[in-house]
Amino acid sequence: MILVDNGRVICRLMDFMLKVKISHPQKGEFFLDLKFGRT
């Protein structure tokens, strides 16, 4: 159950990040840099 819930959360997060990236390209890149630890 926990794995399924985590999967839903991750899918929702990725969907949100995709929307942010589309609507705010600069902000989306910032979030990607934050997520993957690029500086």
* CA dist., res. 7 & res. 24, Å (int): 25
Burial pattern 5-32, b for ≥16 Cβ within 10 A else e, equals: eeeeeeeeeeeeeeebbeeeeeebeeee
Q: What is the pLDDT of residue 14?
A: 83
Domain ranges of the chain: 2-36
Residue 26 in contact with residue 20, Cβ under 8 Å? no
For the stretch 1-39, pLDDT in tens is 566 777 788 888 888 877 877 776 676 566 667 676 654
Please tell me what DSSP assigns to residue 39: -
